Amino acid sequence: MKNFQTIFLGAIITIFFAGCTLISQKPATTFQECVDEGNPVMESYPRQCRSKNGDLFVEQVSGPDETACTLDAKLCPDGSSVGRIPPECEFAACPNEITSEKLPYTAQFEIYTRGTLRTFNQSMYLNQSEKVYIKAGDSSRVYVNASGITWQDFFDTLPFSVSYDCLITGDGEKLCSDQEHQLTFILNGTTNANVLNQVIQPKDELVVEYR
């Protein structure tokens, strides 16, 4: 009887600690948590760790002469995210990201406001960056000449402002979502609420519509 009680008590203790372990498990949110989970660490500088969920965490290295990067993340096409790497604080490469051998490539974009297609043939819109730009004659075609370029990176080169809620035109007109109007982003035929943070892919087609 005593042996049975000992075995029973041991089983209860084992189940208790196993339950505590399961409860304590949660997705990693920092580089150190990713390492503590036992995920592989890439011996780059700074080091990078990819979690079981596919998220990439970059070790924050900040010495006396080094820059501490902001902790924002870039959403990759496969749904994972990557952080910035010092000293330039550029985003780390996404999995299967476009390599330099495949550059340059093109994508398409159109902006409609109240049913009217906007054109961008004026010189103020053309060739504004070496990394991503549009040309005269076909201003709806986006030329991407660097890896990791997001749609937000592209719009930031142009003399107007685009966010998920508002489009502010070059002449200062403010077109924002409200009870009567909606600003939507349609990427390759599908409404996409996170498109600005996504890397432009070859042959992407983005439609921004305010109606």
Considering the domain architecture, whether residues 59 and 110 belong to the same structural domain is answered as no
Q: Are residues 62 and 129 in the same domain?
A: no
Residues 6+ apart with CB under 8 A from 192: 185, 186, 198
> Is residue 156 domain-shared with residue 86, that is, in the same domain?
no
> Considering the chain, what percentage of its residues have pLDDT values greater than 90?
43
Among candidate residues 142, 151, 146, the one with its CA nearest the CA of residue 196: 151
Give residue 185's pLDDT: 96
pTM for the whole structure? 0.56
53 and 131 fall within a common domain:
no
pLDDT value for 147: 84
| Residue at 199 is within a domain | yes
Question: How many domains, the chain?
Answer: 2
Residue that is last in its domain, among 91, 120, 141: 91
Say yes or no: 50 and 106 in one domain: no
Evaluate whether residue 2 is within a structural domain. Answer: no
Q: Are residues 87 and 105 in the same domain?
A: no
In a domain, 163, yes or no: yes
Whether residue 179 is contained in a domain is answered as yes
Same domain, 61 and 106: no
Note whether 119 and 167 are same-domain residues: yes
Question: 98-156, pLDDT tens digit by residue?
Answer: 555 578 899 999 999 999 999 999 999 999 999 999 999 889 999 999 988 999 999 99
- Three-point CA angle 128, 71, 96, nearest 5°: 65
In this predicted structure, what is the pLDDT of residue 175?
Answer: 94
Please indicate, yes or no, whether residues 69 and 171 belong to a single structural domain of this protein: no
175 found inside a domain: yes
Indicate whether 73 and 116 sit together in one domain: no
Q: Determine, yes or no, domain membership for 9.
A: no
Q: What is the CA radius of gyration of the chain?
A: 24
Residues 74, 125, single domain; the answer is no
- Structure confidence at residue 81 (pLDDT): 81
Q: Domain of 42?
A: 27-91
Q: Are 86 and 69 in contact (CB under 8 A)?
A: yes
State the pLDDT at residue 111: 96
Domain CATH number, residue 134: 2.170.130
Q: What value does the mean pLDDT of the chain take?
A: 81
**104 inside domain:** yes
Residue that is last in its domain, among 66, 91, 116: 91
Last residue of a domain, one of 62, 91, 120: 91
Q: What was the pLDDT predicted at 23?
A: 42
- Residue 82 and residue 104 share a domain: no
| Residue 46 placed within a domain | yes
Q: What CA–CA distance (Å, rounded) separates 110 from 189?
A: 12
